[in-house]
Amino acid sequence: MLTKLIDQKLLFSITLIFLLCNSVFAQECEEAYNRANTLYAEGKLLQVPYELNNCIERGFESSAKQLNARRLVILSYLYSDRVVEAEDAMLQLLKENAEYKPTSSDPAELRNLYEKFRTRPIMSLGLVGGATYNQATVSNTFGVGAKENYSNVEYQPQVSFKAGVSFSFYLSQVIQINISPTYESIVFETVERPLDFSTTTMRENQNWLHFPLTMRFVILPKQKVKPFIGLGGSARMQMNASIEGTQAYDSEEIADIEATTIDISKQRQEMLYDAIVQLGIQFKTRFSHWSIIGSYSYAFQDFNKPNARYDNSELIFSYGYIDNDVKMDVISLTVGIAYDFYKPKKYRKYKTLD
């Protein structure tokens, strides 16, 4: 019990000493900051960095005071024609506060120095989610009855969802490379009359891992709201596919066939490929950005396997359903948020040779 009490007192004493030291240091840095401003106003520019560097290295209490201190050091070097030191100080400022940007009221020398550095993000990583819609293109129809019956098949797209991650690599302020692996669900219904006396309605659910790779061209790169256009392609890897249907007979004397879920994964392609066009907007926020993206994926191949269309006897004999040859284009609307990563550096064209 006595040992525990001693330990508590020791911890309290250490904490108190630490707080007192921090308070003393904060007061000393506040005084140093005031002296540095006085020296700057008096034109004693080279004394400013020596007054502030120790406090800058340890950090001022507030981020605003830290930024102002670094800015004062940079200006002191600039007006002393110490360009190399000013560049080093600007680089340190940007590493500490990557989204710093001089205002229009700042001296031209400071703004010109800032322009020598890469201040855009180099990459971003985030989450995306949204809705999918689809558009079918039927090349051949098949059925159990007369051709004039099954050739009038109707595809009805349904809204579903997608979710995943997004990674962008910034080649410049204008060009970005993006890959966004997502889990994507596609749902649609087919309605047809395989026979003269019944109507079949089938609801199909396909689940894919989608890997789109696009190049994005930003239209207004220096604005907070940045429209962009994306072009690219993608691969889809099938996870599973299922179908459930009903067959309704015209005659009330015959009982309708109720819906049951049937696995049709083996009748669907394992991989699909498509081309992508995107239109989107990015909204810049602090160290991150939001995006709203509309995408159209144009399918290069049918999603069904032609050689497997007769493999499922339950679909054929219970519902009169045989796979058609169909391409499925996908329209999606997604919302995402991404964290921006920075690595500021001086542009090569401004570097001097030793």
Planar angle of CA 111, 112, 118, nearest 5 degrees: 90
Between 204 and 8, the more confident residue is: 204
> β-strands 225-249, 271-285: how paired?
antiparallel
How many structural domains comprise the chain? 2
Residue 325 lies in a domain: yes
Instruction: State the CATH number of the domain containing residue 319.
Output: 2.40.160.20
Buried b (16+ CB within 10 A) or exposed e, 228-255: bebebebebebeebebebbbeeeeeeee
Q: Could you tell me if 99 and 183 lie in one domain?
A: no
Instruction: Indicate the angle between helix axes 47-58 and 2-41, nearest 10 degrees.
Output: 150
More confident residue, 252 or 347: 347
Residue 9 lies in a domain: no
Q: What is the C-alpha separation between 8 and 258, in angstroms, rounded?
A: 73
Which amino acid is present at 36? A
Tell me the average pLDDT across 18-33: 65
Token representation of residue 216: 């994005």
Nearest of 24, 54, 21 to residue 36 by alpha carbon: 54
What does the block give as tokens for 307?
């050689």
pLDDT at 178 over 80: yes
**Closest to 164 (Cα-Cα) out of 124, 125, 133:** 125
Q: Full-prediction pTM beyond 0.95?
A: no
187 against 23, higher pLDDT:
187
Instruction: Give the pairing type, strands 225-249 and 288-299.
Output: unpaired
Q: In CATH, what number is assigned to the domain containing residue 83?
A: 1.25.40
In a domain, 10, yes or no: no
How confident is the model over 301-318, as pLDDT tens digits?
Answer: 999 999 998 888 888 887
pLDDT-derived band at 63, boundaries 50, 70, 90: confident
Q: How far apart are CA 197 and CA 146, in angstroms?
A: 12
Compute the distance between CA of residue 291 and CA of residue 27 in angstroms, rounded to an integer: 44
The SS3 call for residue 268 is strand
What's the average model confidence in pLDDT over 68-77? Answer: 93
Strands (E) located in 196-224 = 198-218
pLDDT at 129: 97
**Contact criterion met (CB below 8 Å) for 60 and 97:** no
Q: What is the mean pLDDT of the chain?
A: 87
Structure tokens at 238: 């099938």
Closest CA to 194 of 253, 246, 139, 138: 246
Same domain, 159 and 94: no
Question: Using an 8 Å Cβ cutoff, are 193 and 199 in contact?
Answer: yes
Residue type, 46: L
Asked whether residue 352 is domain-assigned, the answer is no
Quick one: which of 291, 281, 283 has its CA closest to 224? 283
pLDDT tens digits, 152-162 = 788 899 999 99
State the sign of the Cα–Cα–Cα–Cα dihedral 107, 112, 113, 115: positive
Tokens of 283: 């909204």
Q: In angstroms, rounded to a whole number, what is the distance separating the alpha carbons of residues 238 and 303?
A: 10
Residue 316 is encoded by which pair of tokens? 């054929």
| Same domain, yes or no: 175 and 315 | yes
Asked if the structure places residue 17 within a domain, the reply is: no
Q: Which of 211, 198, 319 is nearest to 260 (CA)?
A: 319
Q: How confident is the model at residue 324 (pLDDT cuts 50, 70, 90)?
A: confident
| Boundaries of domain holding 287 | 121-342
Are 39 and 110 in a shared domain? yes
141 pLDDT higher than 90: no
Between CA 225 and CA 295 the distance in angstroms is: 19
Does residue 76 surpass a pLDDT of 50? Answer: yes
Of 88, 116, 144, the last residue of a domain is: 116
Same domain for 203 and 332: yes
φ, ψ of residue 62 to 5 degrees: the values are -110, 145
Most confident of 136-150, 183-197, 223-237, 251-265: 223-237
Residue 143 burial (10 A CB sphere; 0-12, 13-18, 19+): buried
For 232-284, how does the pLDDT look when each residue is reduced to its tens digit (9 = 90+)? 999 999 999 999 887 777 666 665 667 688 899 999 999 999 999 999 999 99
Residues 149 and 108 in one domain: no
